[in-house]
Structure 1
Amino acid sequence: MRFLRLKMGRSMTMPCADNAIKGTESTIKVNSKHAVNGNPTVGPFDPRYHLMIFGLGCFWGAERKFWKKKGVFSTQVGYSGGFTKNPTYEQVCSGGTGHAEVVRVVYDPEVVGLNELLQIFWEAHDPTQGMRQGNDFGTQYRSALYYTREDQKVLAEKSLSVYQELILKRITTEIKEAGPFYYAEDYHQQYLHKVPGGYCGLKGTGVSCPKVEL
């Protein structure tokens, strides 16, 4: 079944904690196995794996970019960076939660380096567009990197600095420590595997990103 992107009124202004939509204790349940590779999508994950959260616009196409990469154990789409506990897709699309659409990537650092994942991130979208990606506009489409380890923060900041030197417009990507990750509804998970001809609005700048090292 095809699911259409919601065409709702999009907010270009982030809410604050006081006026964000109130959350709920009801969590969204997802399939415990990845639809593409069969690996677990629900933690806890083996401690040898690292987790990083990427926001680069519509999470349907973004997730596919990462699950194809060798060394990526699992991917999940969801909502992060906002205020509402256990938000729904409709709530996030309203702009009232403060969350970005994101992909949580569980990867084996012995096989794939974060610098390679950052290359995918920078090259797959336009990180200079603020609260939008192409025709997708609203706070949920902002560019974001949410780290779970200090070395990820250092490398993410370094890669931003390097990439900024290569493109003319100012990068608006937010980089901050990861807060709660809330799963998106199950039909969003690995969506473009389930619906191969589904919507993907990702477009990069055409500028390659070099690998950076700590």
Structure 2
Amino acid sequence: MSNQNRSDYPFIVFGMGCFWGAEKRLSEVPGVIDVESGYAGGDSQDATYKEVLALEKALQMGLAEQRNHAEVIKVSYDPQQVDLETLLAHFWQNHNPTQGDRQGNDVGSNYRSVIYYRTEEEKHLACLSLEKYQTALKQHGFGKITTEITELRNYSRAEEYHQDYLQKNPFGYCGLGGTGIPYPD
């Protein structure tokens, strides 16, 4: 890494179900500087794991109406080494974006597929990549992509025990499977 601070690099926020597997997979992409687990997209300013789970339970029981946070990863990258479309390709290929509020055994709105952008350029690239991947999925019999693409709001860093979870717990659960369909070149 150069003399730049990690916070000097651009970042994008993805939700691919449980953040443990997403963090591990995206951290392996050359040019990625840092991947941080967190929560974003919900109504509350700050979120904790317990609060997200409690709200999801209340939502499923019909006892709440607030928008819950999604488990997300904040991917900081060096644009000299990797471009955003490459990161988006890894995003699409590493989970099943047609499943709605679930990935693997993880079910709930907190496990939804999301891309949270900060700039109009990021939004544009995210939408183009969705169209490309939807075409590829449709050719292989998959349904409509349910991924939410919207502006980043209310991001909170996850608790320390969630950071690098699968590195610390190599046999920990990862519900990410992907579709097996490659992102078009």
Aligned pair partner of 1:117 in 84, 87, 91: 87
Is 1:175 the equivalent of 2:137?
A: no
RMSD value over aligned CA atoms?
1.7
- State which of 127, 133, 149 in structure 1 corresponds to 2:119: 149
**Which of 167, 176, 200 is equivalent to 2:174?**
200
Per-residue displacement from partner, 1:8-66 (whole Å, max 9, x unpaired)? Answer: xxxxxxxxxxxxxxxxxxxxxxxxxxxxx9xx9xx8711xx211000000000000011
CA–CA distance in 1 between the matches of 2:51 and 2:101? 16
Give the gaps of 5 or more residues in structure 1.
1-36
Matched, 1:79 2:49: no
CA distance in 2, matches of 1:146, 1:73: 18
Q: C-alpha distance in 1, partners of 2:93/2:163?
A: 22
Asked if structure 1 preserves the Cα contact closer than 8 Å seen for 2:6 and 2:34, the reply is no
C-alpha displacement of 1:180? 2.4
The CA deviation at 1:82 is 0.3
SS of the aligned residue for 2:126 comes to helix
Q: What is the identity percentage for the equivalent residue pairs of Structure 1 and Structure 2?
A: 49
SS in 2 for 1:165: helix
Distance 1:64 1:210 in 2: 23
Q: Does 1:186 align with 2:160?
A: yes
Higher helix share: 2
> 1:84 deviation in Å?
1.4
SS in 2 for 1:86: coil
Paired amino acid for 1:45: S
For 2:83 and 2:53, how far apart are their aligned partners in 1?
32
- Contact 2:6/2:33 (<8 A) preserved: no
Please state if 1:139 is matched with 2:109: yes
TM-score by length of 1: 0.75
Q: How does 1:44-123 map to 2 (within 5 A)?
A: 45-46=7-8, 49-94=9-54, 95=56, 98-123=68-93
Aligned equivalents of 1:90 and 1:139: distance in 2?
A: 15
Structure 2 unaligned spans of 5+: 60-66
Give, as a single letter, the amino acid of the residue that structure 1 aligns with 2:107.
Answer: F
1:128 alignment partner in structure 2 = 98
Counterpart Cα distance in 1 of 2:157 and 2:13: 12
Q: Which residue of 1 aligns with 2:62?
A: none
Moved over 4 A (4+): none
Tell me the SS of whatever aligns to 2:128. Answer: helix
Q: In structure 2, how many angstroms separate the alpha carbons of the residues matched to 1:135 and 1:185?
A: 22
| Structure 1 stretch displaced more, 82-91 or 132-141 | 82-91
Matched residue pairs, number?
169
| 2:184 paired residue number | 210
TM-score (norm 2): 0.86
Q: CA deviation at 1:90?
A: 1.4
